[in-house]
Amino acid sequence: MAAPATEPKSPEKTQTKRGNHAALGTATVPGNPGAGRATPENAGTTMQRASLLLCFLVLLVLLALASLAVGSKPIDLATVLGALVNPDDSADHAIIRESRVPRALLGILAGSALGIAGALVQSMTRNALAEPGILGVNAGASLAIVIAVGTFGINGFSGYVWFAFGGAVLATGAVYLVGMAGARSNDPVRLVLAGVALGAVLSGIGTALALVHPAAFDQLRAWTVGSLEGRSPEILLPLALAVAAGFVLAAFTGRSLNALALGDDTAKALGYRVGRARVLILLAVTVLAGAATAAVGAIGFLGLMAPHLARRFSGPDARWMLGFTAVLAPIILLLADVLGRVIIPGELEAGVVCAFVGAPVLIILARRKKPVAV
């Protein structure tokens, strides 16, 4: 967001500008070769991007297969494929079907949901440091868990998962009401500040309650870490529905995201309805982040770093960025889950590994060249 005039004209910068023009001037399929300004070079990058995305998809599938084979009881790939294609009643097949396949699916769904939610938040607030947690998702969910366990005596994951989802949705709604109310309703800085403020209040109350109720504290510390382990398969269907709804909303907002990146005034001048776009984006973020956070715990860092990684491959177009994020985020989460199963005897929670895998990547990205702003 630095003024282009003061920047040295690097090739990357020029490309960035051209990319934006192409996306905005045509407002059709990204990089469509038939669209006015597209040059052969542009078409080439589109092809490259598409094939790169395909490569990552293949990587995700391979990683998912690997996650079926790796664990406290290693199972060879032939048996894994057998269990998928031609299941029988053997113990190995039962493990794969009933425990490892749901876990891999949970990782893919929750990972892409957290990634997309992070990408949407970063684009909407024009703040590259935003993550879904900034809208109060984590604070709302953990306060709801503390209340569920401490006040209502509900125990266990399947008991409080709906509380967590409800808490996340309510918190985000409240952040929206505080941040978007009033005269300067479209200032994204207000939204971020409202999220920080409300999140602080909720987490303060949550901590105070948790310190009074040791049982709630015990559940909360397990949930906060974030893990794919021990989640009941019944949550897969609701999670899948929520993720599908979020993806549809996100797909609708892709074009407005490109416009919003240029600032509200420009977006309005281009004919975009800025306020409506923000509501749609926020709705998508709430559904995606709320569902994924309730299901796997507070792995908000994934939502922060996956879009940064995706931007390296996608360039500035928000639609490509969303696509890459949707594939890269579950890759990171599944990789973390698989690593966590083999690093130490017993298991290291995916949330912990995720931070230790993702953070060095983020640091290297930050060091490599001038960081790419949103």
Q: Is 343 in the site for other proteins (CB under 8 A)?
A: no
Site stretch for other proteins (CB under 8 A), options 45-53, 144-152, 156-164, 177-185: 177-185
Euclidean distance between CA atoms 106 and 227, whole angstroms:
10
Contact 256, 267 (CB under 8 A): yes
Q: Which of 75, 120, 171, 305 binds other proteins (CB under 8 A)?
A: 305
Type of residue at 314:
S
Chain mean position to CA 275: 23
Concatenated DSSP letters for 176-215?
Answer: HHHHH-STTTT-HHHHHHHHHHHHHHHHHHHHHHHHH-HH
Site stretch for other proteins (CB under 8 A), options 16-24, 101-109, 179-187, 314-322: 179-187
Contact 355, 85 (CB under 8 A): no
Question: What x/- string results for residues 188 through 217 when contact with other proteins is judged by CB under 8 A?
Answer: -xx-xxx-xxxxxx-xxx-xx-xxx-x--x
Euclidean distance between CA atoms 190 and 265, whole angstroms:
17
Euclidean distance between CA atoms 333 and 114, whole angstroms:
10
By CB under 8 A, the count of residues binding other proteins is: 58
Neighbours of 277 (CB within 10 A): 20
Site stretch for other proteins (CB under 8 A), options 10-18, 164-172, 175-183, 231-239: 175-183
CB-nearer residue toward other proteins: 7 or 98: 7
Q: Is 339 in the site for other proteins (CB under 8 A)?
A: no
CB-nearer residue toward other proteins: 42 or 293: 293
State the nearest-atom distance from the C-beta of 187 to other proteins, in Å. 9
Residues sharing a CB contact under 8 Å with residue 256, sequence separation 6 or more, in sequence order: 267, 272, 273, 274, 277, 280, 281
CB-nearer residue toward other proteins: 210 or 243: 210
State the nearest-atom distance from the C-beta of 282 to other proteins, in Å. 16
Q: Is 155 in the site for other proteins (CB under 8 A)?
A: no
Euclidean distance between CA atoms 292 and 235, whole angstroms:
10
State the nearest-atom distance from the C-beta of 205 to other proteins, in Å. 6
Euclidean distance between CA atoms 296 and 283, whole angstroms:
20
The two tokens of residue 28 are 């059709």
Site stretch for other proteins (CB under 8 A), options 163-171, 256-264, 273-281, 353-361: 353-361
State the nearest-atom distance from the C-beta of 247 to other proteins, in Å. 26
State the nearest-atom distance from the C-beta of 290 to other proteins, in Å. 20
**CA quadruple 304, 309, 310, 314: dihedral, nearest 10:** 140
CB-nearer residue toward other proteins: 61 or 181: 181
CB-nearer residue toward other proteins: 50 or 222: 222
Q: Is 359 in the site for other proteins (CB under 8 A)?
A: yes
Q: Is 4 in the site for other proteins (CB under 8 A)?
A: no
Question: What x/- string results for residues 112 through 141 when contact with other proteins is judged by CB under 8 A?
Answer: ----------------xx------------
